[in-house]
């Protein structure tokens, strides 16, 4: 088993199931799921995360909003963020990197 606390943030239940399946297939065992940016931002009060897989396009608070709030409030200070998106413009990738994301994964992907 690989030891890392991972948070997957995505508003689509099927995508959450794919992410969980992929993590389990890679022998990660310690992960959490948040179905919205708002829910994700409440989690650091309860535990810390090593990695956050963050959907870019979500209703309400999107991935860039989550990165902005996390940076402004000092949440997830030692956490690596990877954005997950259907499509990414150069501008949105640049914005995410400036806000602290380390990389991008493009959907669709499968387990």
Confidence class of residue 66 from pLDDT cuts 50, 70 and 90? very high
Instruction: Provide the mean pLDDT of the chain.
Output: 87
Confidence class of residue 88 from pLDDT cuts 50, 70 and 90? low
Question: Which of residues 17 and 53 earns the better pLDDT score?
Answer: 53
Cα→Cα distances 91→61, 66, 96, Å: 18, 17, 9
Please name the residues in contact with 99: beta carbons below 8 A apart, sequence gap of 6 or more. 64, 67, 68, 71
Is the model's pLDDT at 87 over the cut of 60?
Answer: yes
pLDDT in tens, 3-31: 788 999 999 988 888 888 888 888 887 88
Is the model's pLDDT at 35 over the cut of 80?
Answer: yes
| Calpha distance 75→59 (Å, rounded) | 21
| Calpha distance 10→32 (Å, rounded) | 11
């Amino acid at each position: 088993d690989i030891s890392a606390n991972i948070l997957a943030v995505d508003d689509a239940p099927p995508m959450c199931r794919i992410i969980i399946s992929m993590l389990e297939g890679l022998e990660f065992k310690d992960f959490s799921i948040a179905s919205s940016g708002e829910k994700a931002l409440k989690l650091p009060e309860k535990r810390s995360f090593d990695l956050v897989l963050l959907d870019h396009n979500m209703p309400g608070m999107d991935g860039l909003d989550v990165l902005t709030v996390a940076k402004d409030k000092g949440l997830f200070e030692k956490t690596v963020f990877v954005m997950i998106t259907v499509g990414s413009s150069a501008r949105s990738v640049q914005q995410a990197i400036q806000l602290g994301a380390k990389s991008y994964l493009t959907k669709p992907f499968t387990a």
